Amino acid sequence: MKKIIVFAFAALMVLFSSNAQSQTDKSKKKNKGKQEKMSNTDSLSYALGISIGNNLKQAGVKELNTAKLAEAMQIALSGGEASMDENQCNAIIQQELSKFAEAKAGEAQKEGLAFLEKNKSNAGVQVTESGLQYKHVLEGSGAQPSATDEVTVHYEGRLIDGTIFDSSIKRGEPATFGLNQVIPGWTEGLQLMKEGGKITLYIPQNLAYGAQDMGTIPAYSTLIFEVELLKVNKGE
């Protein structure tokens, strides 16, 4: 339902932008490097456009017939007779979104596998039986955690394209959690460390979030984490 609503908003975005596109292009040329002054309505329209565009991109939508979209929206707004009822529209949207999602998932898995295949031959990289890849950056000398222990760490996580999606380092505050409360790649990888150590984890999608889309982490993403193990609190 959420994605169906997003598509409806996308139609509104097209109507706003289609009517004002030529004027907007001229304005950008005249005011290059300056922030454009907009009315409240225009500001809302622009903000919705950016937000909706990002959502459509995340959903895997790369191309739309904007003319057809605008035509259908005009019919709906004017109360005209549509060639499809609401159930038919929803069915088509769900069907096409599924296709986009499958294509995007397949691409993410393919890219992840290619990355891991190349990465495993890099100096210092080791591979476990599960497929987890890791590289010790600094060997620790303190306690070594088990799967039931709580750990305090500094970390930074990124996608294979270099996009950082989370960083305790940037927040300036380490994180504390149980190793049985995190993704499998973390549970396994941190047990390879000792206090004071630093490690790079290359986590296959099946040891990360798999088919779940976690906001800035697309489904089926291979993840890279830089982790420093600060402290181990032994569980019972």
Q: Are 226 and 111 in contact (CB under 8 A)?
A: no
Are the CB atoms for 205 and 114 separated by under 8 Å?
no
Of these residues, 9, 100, 183, 213, which one is catalytic? 183
Which one, of 3, 218, 212, 219, lies nearest residue 92 by Cα? 3
Please tell me which residue in 46, 165, 169, 213 is annotated as part of the active site. 165
DSSP 21: H
Q: List the catalytic residue out of 155, 202, 217, 224.
A: 155
Beta strands in the chain (DSSP E): 126-127, 133-138, 150-159, 164-167, 175-178, 198-203, 223-233
Q: Which of 115, 209, 220, 224 is catalytic?
A: 209
Nearest residue to 144 (alpha-carbon basis) of 98, 78, 192, 209: 192
Please give the DSSP secondary-structure letter assigned to residue 213. -
Active site (annotated) includes residue 42 = no
Residue 164 DSSP label? E
209 classed as catalytic? yes
Q: Are 224 and 202 in contact (CB under 8 A)?
A: yes
Among candidate residues 16, 115, 134, 225, the one labeled active-site is: 225
Catalytic residue among 42, 166, 169, 213: 166
Query: Does residue 225 carry a catalytic annotation?
Result: yes
Q: Tokens 């005009």: give the residue.
A: 74
Q: In 3-state terms, what secondary structure has residue 149?
A: coil
Closest-CA residue to 7 (of 53, 42, 76, 68): 53
Residues designated catalytic: 155, 165-166, 183, 209, 225
